Homo-oligomer: A and B are copies of this chain.
Amino acid sequence: MTNRIAQLRKERGLSQAELAEAVDVTRQTIISLENGRYNASLLLAHKIARYFGMTIEEVFLFDEEESK
């Protein structure tokens, strides 16, 4: 799974700290998500998507072969 968080954030001229505050997590969490260290929880994914005015599937991209 990959995500478009960094891209969407930059398009809107936001720092990681600003996005983190907006969705109520720490800056480390945003860094880890952007750098692919782990996946967001369903709730956090929803908050991020909602913040960008998009659906979860538009922000988080699921590879086809992805099994688990």
Contact = CB atoms under 8 A, between A and B. Distances in A.
Contacts of A60: 42, 46
B41 A39 contact: yes
B24 A46 contact: no
23 contacts: A1-B42, A1-B43, A24-B67, A24-B68, A39-B42, A39-B43, A40-B42, A41-B41, A41-B42, A42-B42, A42-B45, A42-B56, A42-B60, A43-B62, A43-B66, A43-B68, A46-B57, A46-B60, A46-B62, A55-B55, A55-B56, A55-B57, A56-B56
Interface of A: 1, 24, 39-43, 45-46, 55-57, 60, 62, 66-68
